[in-house]
Structure 1
Amino acid sequence: MVQGQLTWWQLSDLHWPAHPSTELKRYIDNLLQHLRKSMAVSGRPNFTVFTGDIAFSGQSKEYDSVGEHLIAPLRELLGNDVPLLFVPGNHDMDRAEALIKQSRLVTDLTDPAAVDAFVGNPRNRANFADPFRSYSDFVAQWGPTGTDDAYRWTHTITAAGHKVTVLGLNSAWAGFYHTTDAPTESDRGRLLLSIDQTPKPGEDADFTLFAQHHPFEWLNEDICDPAVQSLRRNYQVGLFGHVHSPRELGQLSSPHSTVLRIPSMLLFGRPHGDDSARYPRGYSVGAIDVTTSECRVRYFKYDSVYSDSFKEFTDVYSDDGKSPTAVLKPRRHGGGDCALDRDGTALSVRRHVASDRPTAQTGAGAHRL
C-alpha cells in the first residue's frame, strides 16, 4: 500500500466460462505476473474491485472455475487484508432462473415509489435475487462479510488515516425481463435502481466511491432519477463496467453535484472479436492522494501481438501521454464534490483522455477528463 494514498485495482467483464481455454489460462498467468511486478514497484492496493460480468452465464461451475484460476491466486498475491469487492453484471444473472419469474412484476414498475416499494418487499426482494444465487455464493466465499447481498452493500476501508466508504450496487437485477427486436440492447434505458440501493454515506467518510456494472444511461432515466441524483450528490467517484472501453472517463457535473466517472476496460472475453483501441483487454488502477485529493487513473492494455504482456495504455491519454487526473475535495471539509469555481462549475481537470467518440450521452454537464 502506498503511503499517503488510497489505491485500487479495477477489473471488469471477465465473462468466465466453466472450462477456460488454454489462451485464457495463459492470459491470466500473464496478468498475475504483471500484477506481481507492479506490486513490487507500487505496493499493494487498498482494495480490488470487480465491476460485473465475472461469469459468462451466472452458473455455479463458472464461479468455481474463476475462483480456482484467478481469485485464489489473486488472494494469495494480495494477502487476506486487501478486500476483494464485487458487483454483479448482466452475465452474472442465471437466465434459466430468471425465465421462471413473473416478468410483469418488474416491467409494470413505472415510477420511483413503485420501485422502492417493490425492492422493500422482502418476498419480492428474495424472489428476484434468486437469479444471482450462484453469484452471491461466490462473493460470500471470496468477499468481505455482507458484500454478498444481491442488491447493494457498503464496505468501509481505512487508508492513510482516512475513512473511505465504498458502495456496491446491482444495476442488473431488473434486466432480462424486457424483450425487444434487438436483444443485445434490450436492457438499455430499462434497468432500475431504487433509493434503498443508494444510501447516504456517514458524515465521517473522507472519500466516497460507488461501483456498479452499468453506466447511468442504461438505467430508466425517469424512474431512476432520484437514485442517480442521490449517487451524484453523495459519492465522489463512480466505477463502472459493461462498456468495455475507457473512453467515457470523465466528470458528470451539475450546479449541485459532480461525480468522477471511471469506466473499465474488458478484462477478457473479446465479444467484439479483436483487441482494438476501442475495445482493449486490460484493467485500470486508481489512486487518490489523501493530502491533495488528486485522483489519478491509469489504464493497462494486454499486448497479445508482440509481447504477451500488459503495458500502459497511453493511446487513450492526451497528447502529452500523461495519465488523467482530477481533484476531489474530502467530504469532511468540502461536501464531497470535485473542486468548483466561483459560479459552481466543475474546474477543468488536469489531463484529457483522447477520444474518437462524442461526449457520453449522460445529460447536460458531462465533461471528459
Structure 2
Amino acid sequence: MHLSDLHFGRGANWERQRVLGEDLLRKLSTLRTERDVDLLFITGDIAFAGRSGDYEQATKFVESIRSALHLAVERIFVVPGNHDIDRTVSPTGLAQVRKDIEGQTPASLPKVLTAATANIIPRQAAYRAWVRDTLKRPTLVATDTTGYRETLELSGRPFPVQVIGLDTAWLSGGDDDHERLALNRARLGELLHDDDGHPLPGLRLGLCHHPFSWLRDGRECENLARDHLQILFRGHLHQPELAVQFSPGLTPLKCVTAGALFEPSGGDMNYAGFELVDLELDLTGRPVQAQIHFWGWRGDFWAPDNHVYPNAANGLVEWKWGS
C-alpha cells in the first residue's frame, strides 16, 4: 500500500475523521481478506508543520492502518516531506547552506552537502523522534540526510527485497523549493550498492517525496537510480501519476506517485487517494508486471477511482516491464 501527504495538523479534525475514519478502515479490512499486504509506504508530509503535536495525531491513524492490514511494524516504511520540516528552526543555517551550494559542480556538491548535515538535521527533530521512538522504526532514521536502506526476506520469496528511503526534503524552506533541494549523489551511490561496491540483489524499491526534477543534483541522482531501482514511489504532487523516466542509453525508471491522502476543504486540491500495488516478479525479484489499484474519496465514501486514468476500469492499471 502506498500513500502520501497526510498533512496532520492542518484542517478540522471532524473533516479529517470523515475522510480517514471508519469507511477507509472498513474498506482496508475488506481488501485485506482478498490479498495480503506486504508493505506500507508513506512518502512524506505526515505532518503539516513538522512539530511534535502533528505526529501525535498521525500515530493513531498509522496504527489503525497497520491494524486493518494486519501488518507488522517492521513492514512500515516512511520518508520525510517538505511539511515534515520545522521551518522555524535554523532559518539562518538553511540560508547559508543554500548559498554554499550555489555554483557547485556535480563533483564538488557532495562534499558541501555532507558538511552541512549537522546544522540542518535539527529541523527534522520532531519527525525523527516520531519515527525512532513512537513508530519504533529506528533503522529508518538515517545518520545523515540522504536516507536509509533496509533488506527484507519475505516468506516464499527466493530473493531479498531492498527498500531504499531517500530524504529529498532536508533542505526544504518554503514554497520556492524547486531546484533548491539536493540529495547527495555520492551517498546515494553507497545506498544502491553493497559494501563491496556491487549492485544490490533482488527487488529494489525506492521511496522519496519530491520528483528528482526538484533537486539541484536531480539529473545525476536520477541517472544513478535508473540503473539500480526498479520502482520509485513518491508523493508531493497531490495527484496520482504513473511515469516512466527515460534517458538515451539508460534503463527507464518507473515512478508511482500517490495523490494526497488528505487535504482540507479550501486546500490546493480536492482529491484524496491512495494506491495498492500488486507486483508479479520473476525468480530473481525482477518485476514482470504491476497492477496498480487507484482508490479515491468520493465525497462520502472510498471507492476504486479512475479520474486520472479514465480507461482504468475499476481504478486498475496494468503496467508491464519492457513496455
Query: Structure 1 length as normaliser, TM-score?
Result: 0.75
The one of 311, 320, 323 equivalent to 1:327 is 320
Change (3 A) 1:128 1:172: same
Task: Report Cα offsets for 1:126-161 as digits up to 9, x if no partner.
Answer: 221110011011111315331022430111223331
Aligned partners of 1:174 and 1:192 also within 8 Å: yes
Change (3 A) 1:265 1:326: same
Q: Which residue of structure 2 aligns with residue 91 of structure 1? A: 83
Aligned partners of 2:128 and 2:141 also within 8 Å: yes
Q: Which residue of structure 2 aligns with residue 301 of structure 1? A: 296
Task: Report Cα offsets for 1:60-81 as digits up to 9, x if no partner.
Answer: 111112112x022223332426
Q: Which residue of structure 2 aligns with residue 192 of structure 1? A: 182
Shift of 1:260: 0.5
Determine helix, strand or coil for the equivalent of 1:301.
Answer: strand
Equivalent residues in 2 for 1:98-109, closer than 5 Å: 98-101=90-93, 103-109=95-101
Whole-Å separation in 1 of the counterparts to 2:3 and 2:288: 23
Q: Which amino acid aligns with 1:250?
A: A
Aligned partners of 1:83 and 1:144 also within 8 Å: no
Is 1:172 paired with 2:169? yes
Change (3 A) 1:102 1:72: closer
Q: Which residue of structure 2 aligns with residue 210 of structure 1? A: 206
Whole-Å separation in 1 of the counterparts to 2:268 and 2:218: 34
Task: Report Cα offsets for 1:337-363 as digits up to 9, x if no partner.
Answer: xx3xxxxxxxx3xxxxxxxxxxxxxxx
Change (3 A) 1:143 1:166: farther
Whole-Å separation in 2 of the counterparts to 1:12 and 1:168: 14
Whole-Å separation in 2 of the counterparts to 1:187 and 1:18: 21
Aligned partners of 1:211 and 1:239 also within 8 Å: yes
Q: Which residue of structure 2 aligns with residue 127 of structure 1? A: 119
Aligned partners of 1:163 and 1:204 also within 8 Å: no
Change (3 A) 1:253 1:27: same
Shift of 1:169: 0.7
Is 1:61 paired with 2:57? no
Change (3 A) 1:20 1:114: farther
Aligned partners of 2:151 and 2:160 also within 8 Å: yes
Change (3 A) 1:99 1:204: closer
For structure 1, which segment, 94-103 or 133-142, has the greater mean C-alpha deviation from structure 2 after superposition?
94-103
Is 1:36 paired with 2:29? yes
Aligned partners of 2:180 and 2:214 also within 8 Å: yes
Whole-Å separation in 2 of the counterparts to 1:189 and 1:174: 11
Whole-Å separation in 1 of the counterparts to 2:44 and 2:26: 23
Determine helix, strand or coil for the equivalent of 1:326.
Answer: strand
Is 1:145 paired with 2:142? no
Q: Which residue of structure 2 aligns with residue 289 of structure 1? A: 280
Is 1:238 paired with 2:235? no
Task: Report Cα offsets for 1:166-196 as digits up to 9, x if no partner.
Answer: 11111111221xxxxxx63x11122111021
RMSD: 2.3
Whole-Å separation in 1 of the counterparts to 2:26 and 2:236: 25
Q: Which residue of structure 1 aligns with residue 106 of structure 2? A: 112
Change (3 A) 1:32 1:224: same
Task: Report Cα offsets for 1:208-240 as digits up to 9, x if no partner.
Answer: 1111100122122xx333222111111111111
Change (3 A) 1:205 1:80: same
Q: Which residue of structure 2 aligns with residue 219 of structure 1? A: 215
Aligned partners of 2:12 and 2:264 also within 8 Å: no
Whole-Å separation in 1 of the counterparts to 2:140 and 2:54: 19
How many aligned residue pairs are there? 302
Q: Which residue of structure 1 aligns with residue 309 of structure 2? A: 317
Task: Report Cα offsets for 1:267-319 as digits up to 9, x if no partner.
Answer: 0024764865xxx2010111211237212211100111xxx221111233353
